[in-house]
């Protein structure tokens, strides 16, 4: 009987040590998926950053120019954030591409927030695009530039090089709300 009690005490002691070790282990959380936004969410997003120049980039994992441009946008966000620029990404992937989107974000580790455009029927997609800019037909990548007052003052459809982005960002940061970056197509 003493042996049985001794073994039980050892097992209880070992269980306590394991429990303490598990409790002290660092807790790792999987990153949260970007919040889904609809038209109203997009408009709130623009208003949320009012007072700061804002660059919003729409991207998708299946879009090769988006994959090429994204790391550069991350570098620009790091460089120009101290000067006041805010950068936001909006993923345009469909629900079936969530795993790819998660891998994309894990790979590039963006320093700026990302959201997901609410997927919908073609007419809902068109309505979202029209609300952002009437002539936007959903081309990717698409970048929209807002001044400090929250007014859309420029856009790009398709990828651009670093020099083009930097020129527009400098104008955006220097704009007094009376003009700023010209619309680029």
How many Cα atoms within 13 Å fall on the side-chain side of residue 20? 6
Would you state the pLDDT for residue 26?
47
29 three-state secondary structure: coil
pTM of this prediction exceeds 0.85? no
Structural tokens at position 134: 């009437």
Would you state the pLDDT for residue 178?
39
Structural tokens at position 177: 């709300």
Give the span between the Cα atoms of 90 and 49, in whole angstroms: 15
Structural tokens at position 145: 């530039």
Would you state the pLDDT for residue 137?
94
Would you state the pLDDT for residue 12?
53
Task: Express each pLDDT in 17-74 by its tens digit.
Answer: 444 444 454 444 455 889 999 999 999 999 999 999 999 999 999 999 999 999 999 9
In the structure, what pLDDT confidence band is assigned to residue 9 with cuts at 50, 70 and 90?
Answer: low
Task: Calculate the dihedral angle through the C-alpha atoms of 12, 17, 22, 23, rounding to the nearest 10 degrees.
Answer: 100
Would you state the pLDDT for residue 174?
87
Residue 148 · residue 50 · CB < 8 Å: yes
- Res 144 pLDDT > 70: yes
């Amino acid at each position: 009987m003493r042996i049985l009690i001794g073994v039980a005490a050892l097992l209880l002691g070992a269980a306590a040590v394991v429990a303490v070790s598990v409790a002290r282990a660092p807790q790792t959380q999987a990153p949260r998926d970007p919040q889904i936004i609809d038209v109203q969410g997009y408009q709130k997003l623009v208003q949320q950053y009012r007072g700061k120049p804002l660059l919003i980039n729409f991207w998708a994992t299946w879009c090769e120019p988006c994959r090429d441009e994204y790391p550069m946008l991350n570098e620009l966000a790091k460089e120009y954030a101290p000067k006041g620029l805010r950068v936001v990404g909006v993923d345009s992937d469909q629900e079936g591409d969530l795993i790819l989107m998660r891998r994309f974000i894990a790979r590039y580790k963006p320093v700026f927030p990302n959201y997901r455009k609410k997927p919908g029927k073609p007419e809902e997609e068109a309505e979202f695009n029209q609300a952002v800019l009437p002539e936007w037909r959903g081309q990717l990548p698409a970048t929209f530039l807002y001044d400090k007052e929250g007014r859309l003052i420029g856009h790009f459809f398709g990828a651009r090089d670093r020099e083009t982005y930097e020129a527009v960002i400098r104008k955006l940061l220097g704009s007094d709300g009376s003009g700023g970056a010209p619309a680029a197509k």
